A and B are shown apart, each in its own frame.
Chain A
Amino acid sequence: MSTTLEALINRPYEYGFVTDIESDAIPKGLSEDVIRLISKKKNEPDWLLEFRLNAYRHWLTMTEPVWANVSHAKIDYQDIIYYSAPKPKKKLASMDEVDPELLRTFEKLGVPMHERKMLANVAVDVIFDSVSVTTTYKEKLAEVGIIFCSFSEAVQHHPELVKQYLGSVVPSADNFFAALNSAVFTDGSFCYIPKNTRCPMDLSTYFRINNAESGQFERTLIIAEEGSHVSYLEGCTAPRFDTNQLHAAVVELVVLDNAEIKYSTVQNWYAGDENGVGGIYNFVTKRGLCKGVNSKISWTQVETGSAITWKYPSCVLLGDNSIGEFYSVALTNHHQQADTGTKMIHIGKNTRSRIVSKGISAGQSNNSYRGLVKISAKADGARNYSQCDSMLIGSACGAHTFPYIEVMNSTAKVEHEASTSRIGEDQMFYFASRGIGGEEAVSMIINGFCKEVFNHLPMEFAVEATKLLGLKLEGSVG
């Protein structure tokens, strides 16, 4: 990574909060009172408070998982502020006021001008007024009956839907971090696609209508009714700064008969400095339930940020003929650690799943693929294909593969293959002899390596992701 970018990433975020933080934050620590307070501040119904308290009580009995191939200092859960109200940011008058390094990153990534302004928190001009953009979107979605709003709004306006589906895929006691999230989540996204509706556009979190900070314990719930289809984008390629070190999000997807959800993520959170100091711990539980027949869930992720990533987007293939897909690129550099992969749980008949995982390790980082393919006894005719490739750049990094394959049905077919490679001197020489410089060559090789995954990203994401990887690896190959 270039020194300028490092400087950029390491810089404390100067343009942030200006309001008095003390005024609407509660003291550090976690207790039933804190949860009651969060619930009250958000004006939640009793059943949701009950849900939170149950999760919290169960969380108290759980211990932090240690099986992941990552190491970090012990997290003090009493040293975290679990609620602070969304704070208005100071608006900048024009792009001239924005940090030039941030602009350079945008330039490199090719982020569209109006998005740059939103990301840099610049007041947007008349033509690209974010309010008008989002209003247009909102109108368009409302026309077809799609609900896309913040989780808090959904709790107020669509409590019946939230109540029906919340915790139905990731139970509140599922794992340590999911339980913590269930107890203290403050906001997130909610999306409901009605029957036989094809969402007319890609839904993207950073165009979410209320534009509030989603925060540390994000909760996402997406429901695709029979015959519907939605493509959902989470995150963005621009570096994201955050003062919270621990992030424990939960994402639940429910897909009914003949419906499909395509969920794409690009994650580029602060990864710590080159000595591994700081950076975000990203401990996420993402799971989709293919509840109906012929339903489909497709996860695509590009993970480049965070000091530690602990994330296994999974598919529970309950409906007959349902399909689960997982396409992932995980890049680690410096001292980053990633333990990521997927779970494909085949329960219904003729269920199919496909896993393509590409891990790139550079610097002193460690990158692990951990996956489970489970074919239960009743999943006749289940089929799985998994492929996980690793690339190592430099001799101080590590690549690990932990695939679990559990088969209990004799008509199942499961295939797994993994390989390891690196950017060879001969490849670099080949590019050099054709007049292509080091950085560009690396970018092209990486792009080729990840092509299978990028092909599944929405167009604009794919273009940015390619550039992002090149940017993250700047200076890694000499």
Chain B
Amino acid sequence: MSAVMKAPDVRDAYLASLAPDVHSLAGPGPEWLNALRAEAAACVNSQPYPTTQDEEWRFTDFGLLRKTAFASAADISLEVSLADIEPFVLPESEKSRLVFVNGIYAPHLSACAGLPQGVVISNLAAGLPLHDAVIRTHLAQQVDFHNEAFAALNTSHIRDGALVLITKDTACPAPIHLLFIATGADMPQANYPRCLIIADAGSTCALIEDYVCLNQGVYFTSAVSEITLGENAAVEHTRLQRESLSAFHMAYGAVALARGSNYTAHNIAFGARISRHDLRIKQNGEAAQCTLNGLALISGRQIADTHTVMDHTKPNGQSTQLHKCIADGGAHAVFNGKIFVRKDAQHTNAAQQSRNLLLSNKARIDTKPQLEIFADDVKCAHGATVSQLETEEMFYLNSRGLDALTARNLLIYGFAEEIVDRIPVTSLIKQLSKTLSEQILEHT
């Protein structure tokens, strides 16, 4: 018997069809990157395709994805012009924008001029020769691709991606806009966007990770983002998922917090036929703080699944989470929020709320807030509600002359706006508020 444990080969033909072929694994990048990609490709083969039989995938059936064959995206970035992306451009980020078309870097659409010293915003391929050591230390270190088939798939496809490095005690003056455009081409394509964000000790920055589409086509986005915060660093991260309504979106986010750092996230999901966002946050240092805001507004036959893990491993940590789902039509919203408080994480203060609005009898909401506590001197609470619009609130608005439809839309808007309003970029709030009212109108 061989003493070496080998990962079982449970090769799933569909996943294998998405994985890069062996020849392309040896790319032009550094040797360690090729090795990493090969390791990830092996992991794709050692993991089964997730089904509703798996506890973590119980409510979200990704079986539909399997019915479509996706080709790896070709570089058609030059076919996209600045005018095409105009609706998504944020004036605040005019000089701090990276644009990717189908996951491939588009330099002619990006703008990263006049950045202060200590701020690096570039594509990963260009950043590699300059920051090889830093990238090597952090890339694929946080996302658990050994146990997540789709994270492994993305990792095996790393060619390029977004790279943000903020050096010690530097404040990035403008929000950084990472715009991922899907063209929604005629042929179903698979895109593999990747983000690596490292905020060194004492630095601050605001990030906008934005997934948009130009056409309502069928495509598959498998995204991975890794964020590392140094001591006392602060990152405010807005993540927008406004993919095509026929698209599949599967994303992993992993965030590591050092002592005294502060991470705030606004996760907004409007699009995709089936979407799933897995966010894992680990407080590795004392007194780290974390705020998570989430909103999913879906209708038709959309499925939006958000899984978050908030892991408190050191004392005096804090976390606050508010996740809202609005499901109309035959939509299905899923929320699973885990909070771990490890043995050493005394004096943790963790609060989590899941608020859900169910607007139709064909819609469905599954929510599972989950607490696992191993320390005794902590303050932890969670709450979950599923409800519909209050008749009293409706009556109030009616009595002030608003017709039923206007009143309804106003209440839904108000429910969602609470999350949108927390985004730190004014132009984006405007953009989203407009989308929000349009979407609510569309559903009625």
Q: Does A47 make an interface contact (CB < 8 A)?
A: no
- Chain B residues within an 8 Å CB radius of A377: 361-362
CB–CB A398/B369 < 8 A: no
Q: How far is the CA of A375 from the CA of B364 in the complex (A)?
A: 10
CB–CB A422/B376 < 8 A: yes
CB–CB A416/B383 < 8 A: yes
CB–CB A407/B343 < 8 A: no
Q: How far is the CA of A397 from the CA of B378 in the complex (A)?
A: 13
| Smallest beta-carbon distance B338→chain A, Å | 9
Q: How far is the CA of A375 from the CA of B363 in the complex (A)?
A: 12
Question: Of the candidates A403, A412, A419, which one forms a contact with B368 in the assembled complex, judged by CB atoms under 8 Å apart?
Answer: A403
CB–CB A420/B358 < 8 A: no
CB–CB B361/A409 < 8 A: yes
| Smallest beta-carbon distance B379→chain A, Å | 7
Q: Does A160 make an interface contact (CB < 8 A)?
A: no
| Smallest beta-carbon distance B53→chain A, Å | 11
The A-contacting residues of B in range 356-397, CB under 8 angstroms, are: 356, 358-388
Q: How far is the CA of A55 from the CA of B374 in the complex (A)?
A: 39
Q: How far is the CA of A416 from the CA of B355 in the complex (A)?
A: 10
Q: How far is the CA of A422 from the CA of B59 in the complex (A)?
A: 34
Residue of A nearest to B335 (CB): A405
Q: Does A414 make an interface contact (CB < 8 A)?
A: yes
Residue of B nearest to A410 (CB): B358
Q: Does A89 make an interface contact (CB < 8 A)?
A: no
Question: Of the candidates A395, A406, A416, A422, which one forms a contact with B369 in the assembled complex, judged by CB atoms under 8 Å apart?
Answer: A416
The A-contacting residues of B in range 179-223, CB under 8 angstroms, are: none
CB–CB A412/B384 < 8 A: no
A407-B356, A419-B380, A422-B377 known; A399+B371 contact, CB < 8 A: yes
Count contacts between A and B, CB distance < 8 Å.
114
CB–CB B343/A396 < 8 A: yes
CB–CB A405/B386 < 8 A: yes
Q: Does A79 make an interface contact (CB < 8 A)?
A: no
- Chain A residues within an 8 Å CB radius of B362: 377
Q: Does A97 make an interface contact (CB < 8 A)?
A: no
CB–CB A417/B383 < 8 A: yes
| Smallest beta-carbon distance B346→chain A, Å | 7
Q: How far is the CA of A398 from the CA of B342 in the complex (A)?
A: 9
| Smallest beta-carbon distance B443→chain A, Å | 13
Question: Of the candidates B370, B378, B382, B386, which one forms a contact with A412 in the assembled complex, judged by CB atoms under 8 Å apart?
Answer: B386
Is the contact region of chain B dominated by helix, strand, or loop, or is it mixed? Answer: strand
Q: Does B86 make an interface contact (CB < 8 A)?
A: no
Count B-side interface residues using an 8 Å CB cutoff: 36
CB–CB B358/A407 < 8 A: yes
Q: Does B442 make an interface contact (CB < 8 A)?
A: no
CB–CB B371/A401 < 8 A: yes
A417-B382, A418-B381, A422-B377 known; A405+B361 contact, CB < 8 A: no
Question: Of the candidates A67, A390, A415, A419, which one forms a contact with B55 in the assembled complex, judged by CB atoms under 8 Å apart?
Answer: A67
- Chain B residues within an 8 Å CB radius of A400: 370-373
A418-B381, A419-B381, A420-B373 known; A410+B367 contact, CB < 8 A: no
Question: Of the candidates A410, A415, A418, A422, which one forms a contact with B359 in the assembled complex, judged by CB atoms under 8 Å apart?
Answer: A410
CB–CB A405/B372 < 8 A: no
- Chain A residues within an 8 Å CB radius of B343: 395-396
Residue of A nearest to B351 (CB): A419
Q: How far is the CA of A420 from the CA of B381 in the complex (A)?
A: 6
Q: Does A77 make an interface contact (CB < 8 A)?
A: no
Q: Does A28 make an interface contact (CB < 8 A)?
A: no
CB–CB B376/A416 < 8 A: no
Q: How far is the CA of A394 from the CA of B386 in the complex (A)?
A: 35
- Chain B residues within an 8 Å CB radius of A417: 381-384
| Smallest beta-carbon distance A80→chain B, Å | 29
| Smallest beta-carbon distance B102→chain A, Å | 36
Q: How far is the CA of A399 from the CA of B373 in the complex (A)?
A: 5
Q: How far is the CA of A354 from the CA of B358 in the complex (A)?
A: 21
- Chain B residues within an 8 Å CB radius of A67: 55
- Chain A residues within an 8 Å CB radius of B381: 417-420
CB–CB B380/A420 < 8 A: yes
Binary CB contact string for chain A from 412 to 440 against chain B (1 if under 8 A, 0 otherwise) = 11111111111000000000000000000
List the 5 closest pairs (A to B, CB-CB), nearest first: A392-B376, A401-B371, A414-B386, A416-B384, A420-B380
Q: List 7 A-B contacts (CB under 8 A).
A: A399-B372, A403-B384, A412-B358, A414-B384, A415-B383, A418-B381, A420-B379
Residues of chain B having any CB pair with chain A under 8 Å: 55, 59, 343, 346, 356, 358-388
Residues of chain A having any CB pair with chain B under 8 Å: 67, 375, 377, 390, 392-422
Besides the known contacts A395-B346, A413-B387, A416-B382, 9 further A-B residue pairs in the complex with CB atoms under 8 A apart: A375-B386, A377-B362, A398-B374, A400-B370, A405-B368, A410-B361, A412-B388, A418-B382, A420-B381
